Amino acid sequence: MTMKKGWLLLCILALFGLTGACTKPAAKTPVDKADPLIGLSMPTHSDESWIRHSSFTIQYLKEMGYTKFDELIVKGAKILVVAAVNGEALGEVLKKAADAGIKVIAYDRLLMNTPNVDYYVTFDNYKVGVAEAEYIIDKLGLKDGKGPFNIELFGGSLDDSNSKYFYQGAFDLLKPYIDSGKLVVKSKQTSLEAVATPGWDGAKAMARMDNLLTAFYAGGSRVDAVLVPYDGLSIGVIASLKNTGYGTKALPLPIVTGQDAEVASVISIINGEQTQTVWKDFRVQAKACALMVDAVLKGKEVPVNDTTTYNNGVKNVPTFSNPVTSIDISNYMDLFNAGFYNKTDAVWKGMVK
């Protein structure tokens, strides 16, 4: 268990008064029924995307009149919203929550192999992969019979249940071209296990790309496309490619996909480096989550729109799934027009009119 996972576990245990490990004191006052404590736990404090997920969710819950939140999930929470580092690791803790009558909403990442998750709010994870693969197929002209082209594939972290949906969505579309020889994976690394990126770590993606370029592309052949499922990895892959000489007129960068429309990747798209990303409007998911929390706490019907896609190994978890949008140089302004980013923010100065 990493330190991060251990910390999360200890903090969730603290919810049930099972350990005094968390530094924040347990609430001593009786829980205000109208304004109950909401436990909100995100997998990391460092990724831009997860910081935004958390702050939007809190913002919408505040707009609904809730004021008490604790990411350390101290004793007394009436509901848990959990985006786990490792979707498999919380079984015992979730059982304790269920025994105490506490409802659990899995946020973005499904909690696996437990009956004790009540709802799931997410984006259409399979369609994320579809959007990336469609982009590659389109830009390479594979439907017009062009090719063969060289492609390398990257996957997410294996402890995140989303990774398999992202990869499957992409691979289902790419496979016919791999089978026909129009797409060539020179490394022959095509299983999710072979291409996964532990911890969604951009440095690991960069190191793997370095190895692929050295081992399979040293003799003058070039890579034409790289399937990448998250912007944090795309930036690492692009750095590796540039270090190896890509990004010139003679050796242009390949198509590189991504996900999350993170600032660095949008800048990279504007600069003609990263090619595509998948925009998940976190505000939409956070709003859906807030509505779920409110419905659960008030005993109202909980909004779900998908009861068949997300099986966590024990049951189909009732889900509210949100749509995704493919973004590239042709439509990145949608991010600003929709207010997802604000073009007057310093970071966009001189880049966006």
Q: How far is the CB of 188 from ligand GAL (least distance, A)?
A: 26
* Amino acid letter for position 353: K
Tokens describing residue 130:
């579809």
Strand pairing class (225-227; 149-153): parallel
Q: How far is the CB of 24 from ligand GAL (least distance, A)?
A: 25
Q: How far is the CB of 91 from ligand GAL (least distance, A)?
A: 19
Q: Choose between 40 and 102: whose C-beta lies nearer to ligand GAL.
A: 40
Q: Choose between 116 and 285: whose C-beta lies nearer to ligand GAL.
A: 285
Q: How far is the CB of 125 from ligand GAL (least distance, A)?
A: 7
Q: Choose between 47 and 224: whose C-beta lies nearer to ligand GAL.
A: 47
119 vs 100: CA distance, rounded Å: 17
Q: How far is the CB of 310 from ligand GAL (least distance, A)?
A: 13
**CB neighbourhood size of 334 (10 A):** 14
Cβ(75)–Cβ(16) under 8 Å?
yes
Q: How far is the CB of 65 from ligand GAL (least distance, A)?
A: 28
183 vs 189: CA distance, rounded Å: 13
User: What residues does 104 pair with on adjacent strands?
Assistant: 80
Q: Choose between 103 and 280: whose C-beta lies nearer to ligand GAL.
A: 280
Q: Choose between 107 and 177: whose C-beta lies nearer to ligand GAL.
A: 107
Cβ(42)–Cβ(54) under 8 Å?
yes
Q: Choose between 48 and 343: whose C-beta lies nearer to ligand GAL.
A: 48
Q: How far is the CB of 49 from ligand GAL (least distance, A)?
A: 4
* Amino acid letter for position 337: N
Contacts of 79 (CB under 8 A, 6+ apart): 36, 38, 39, 102, 103, 104, 105, 293, 296, 297
First to last CA, the chain: 47
Q: How far is the CB of 166 from ligand GAL (least distance, A)?
A: 8
* Amino acid letter for position 25: P
Q: How far is the CB of 34 from ligand GAL (least distance, A)?
A: 33
Q: Choose between 163 and 187: whose C-beta lies nearer to ligand GAL.
A: 163
165 vs 31: CA distance, rounded Å: 39
Q: Which residues of the shown chain bind ligand GAL in the complex (CB under 6 A)?
A: 47, 49, 108-109, 160, 162, 200, 230, 259-260, 280
Q: Choose between 136 and 324: whose C-beta lies nearer to ligand GAL.
A: 324
Q: Choose between 125 and 187: whose C-beta lies nearer to ligand GAL.
A: 125
CA nearest 151: which of 177, 114, 112?
Answer: 177
How many residues would you count in the chain?
Answer: 353
Beta strands in the chain (DSSP E): 38-41, 69-70, 79-82, 103-107, 119-123, 149-153, 183-184, 225-227, 255-256, 277-279, 319-322, 325-327
